[in-house]
Structure 1
Amino acid sequence: MEQKSKALILKVSDFAEADRLVTFFTENHGKVKGVAKHAKRSKKRFGGGVEPGSLGKISYVEKNGAELVRIDEFIVDSPVWKLTSSLEKISALNITLELADRMLPPGHASRERFALIGRWIDFLGSNEPLLSHKHAFFYKWLLACGLEPVFDRCSVCGNAVSAAGNRIQSSHGGVVCASCYRPLPGDIMVSTETLKYLQAFKLGRLFEGADKDADRIFEMLLIHAVGRDIKSFDIARRMEL
């Protein structure tokens, strides 16, 4: 059956002499994996645009029982070169693509998450991302995945939190107050200022003064959601050195 959809290229690798193995996220059918025949040579059908981070329109054919689809065409709407003009953009893009690849189940459509990533990539194409911009995307992504971080109350007892002395625990998905706290590996003590910064995302506000504690907190929550280390975060740290 032939399918056509808007799509984001998530991952690409060489496959045979002239083909490419492509993982892509579609608006209508979720995450799909397939083979783009002669993608290295065919400028007419692929235009050199089958690269991670490219947004466009894809045509592919599904066969009953086949693990991989046959990709017939990909027309680029938003080329990836717009996202590679700085290390900050490259880092943000790599993390985004890895999160999508790891957290999206195959074949399950999610227009909300597709639209969220589309808006984020459009933003990266025209703006230099600040740390607070990346944190806002991480918060919205976790929310869209049904994993909204709990920053405005204790994730154990439900009581409101505002003062210092609280910790973030990934196993509880957010803040744990001093009364409920039990030590666990990877706990992060959260200051009053960092807590206010994190709570602003639920209100749709954005503070410019992000700190490294907030960065560590989002990384910890995302790693817990994925279930293993996220390589793009490690690469981003090496790029900052």
Structure 2
Amino acid sequence: MSTADVPDHVLIVDDDREIRELLSTYLAKQGLRATTVPSGRHMRAALEEAGPFDLIILDLMLPGEDGLALCRDLRAGKHKAMPILMLTARDEEADRILGLEMGADDYLTKPFAARELLARVRSVLRRTRMLPPNMRSDSSNGEGAPQMLGFGDWQVDTAARHLIDAQGVMVSLSGAEYRLLRVFLDHPQKVLSRDQLLGLTQGREAELFERSIDLLVSRLRQRLRDDAREPRYIKTVRSEGYVLSAAVRAVG
């Protein structure tokens, strides 16, 4: 069997047995392979025994560690590149934003139609596969990575996730701004398309309105005090995307 013939393997983490069984059965009928577990502890065991998975469907409200804590831990560990679709019974905007800030790729509120879930799963998998193989893993917070990075007149504290200017003044970043900046730092002087930036930042924020990657770049330029008409650091490459023009160095 070729790699193309191997079905995508989805890990479903939900404490509701009925939901686990329904999703597993439905995804199997759609040509996907599904493994189900009821908790974070079982999720970790499955990752070690049956992983890697192509995508994790993660319920927000779990006994013990909740989905937000598990999402954060996944993004900080060796499974940080694994796509995550978060489920919740609550339709609170704060929950959605926090889930995306923690690194979830998409967010779906219960109750939902099975067809919508399938569409979201396929969309996340498609976005992930649009990236070149050497760009699929997020190298932020990796073991052995320098805590301080520099480019131009700026430094970035990768532990605290903020900018420091030439005078030593700290500039705070939102989670989305930091993720975008970290993508540029991990791939300096390389032109990145909007689709690649969307996949690498691993957030659904960019789907909430058209060309929102452009708006996020604009916000990051403001943090860097970059002139939008003649930017020094994040330059626009017409019809292609954006590039961090400065070289990146380890500091200290």
Same fold (TM over 0.5): no
Normalization by structure 1: what TM-score? 0.31
Structure whose residues are more often strand by fraction:
1
